[in-house]
Amino acid sequence: MQSSESDDPIALFNAWLAEAQANEPEDPNAVCLATADGDGMPSARMVLLKSAEPSGFVFYTNIDSRKGRELAANPQAALCFHWKSLRRQVRVQGMVDRVPEADADAYFATRARTSQIGAWASQQSRPLESRFALEKRVASVAARFALGSVTRPPHWSGFRLRPRSIEFWRQRPFRLHDRTLYNRQAEGWTTTMLYP
């Protein structure tokens, strides 16, 4: 990667994401989210990125889920995007906080009704006694809201990862890959090229 590509890693990330959206067949905004519990035990899973802004990378989830509880105990996380067909990867590390309630409400209102009902019905990461129990909860929530709008449950919100570092990786021949690390410094970013 040439250092002239961008002095703004968020702008560069969004350019790469746009290319992924044009080329990746499935969920180009899918990202591996790594968290750790209060004892430092790591955990990783895939989530969907909803936006990348100067203030950070935003995703939504059940805050009572394992990831939500881990972020409450240890509000640091890492993201890893991998677009195999483009031979690119982006890694992000930083502190995490909740998005404003108004932002969570606004995004929740854009979700499919079935996903909204699912957010109420699922006790994410908790033991499930049977598939029938889940289906019964979904039916109960659907009946509760009938034809009216589905409000956002109090246990569902968004998180913003405020990046301290962002690393861009591009595959090159002979495993001599391009790696550029951006580190946040006050109001700007420093850039360092890394050995592959």
Is the distance from CB of 170 to CB of 178 less than 8 angstroms? yes
Q: Give the domain range for residue 164.
A: 3-112+155-193
Which structure tokens are listed for 166? 């962002």
Query: Is residue 97 domain-resident?
Result: yes
Query: Is residue 184 domain-resident?
Result: yes
Query: Is residue 16 domain-resident?
Result: yes
Query: Is residue 118 domain-resident?
Result: no
Can 160 be counted among the known catalytic residues?
Answer: no
State the catalytic residue, choosing from 113, 160, 175, 179.
Answer: 175
Query: Is residue 133 domain-resident?
Result: no
Q: What is the pLDDT of residues 114-139, one digit of tens each?
A: 999 999 999 999 999 999 999 999 99
Distance of alpha carbon 102 from alpha carbon 33, whole angstroms: 24
Q: What's the domain count of the chain?
A: 1
Query: Is residue 128 domain-resident?
Result: no
pLDDT beneath 70: ranges in the chain: 1-5
Per-residue pLDDT at 15: 97
Query: Is residue 58 domain-resident?
Result: yes
Instruction: Provide the whole-model pTM.
Output: 0.91
User: In CATH, what number is assigned to the domain containing residue 78?
Assistant: 2.30.110.10
Q: In the chain, what percentage of residues exceed pLDDT 90?
A: 90
Query: Is residue 99 domain-resident?
Result: yes
DSSP string for 11-71 = HHHHHHHHHHHHH-SS-TTEEEEEEE-TT--EEEEEEE--EEETTEEEEEEETTSHHHHHH
Per-residue pLDDT at 5: 59
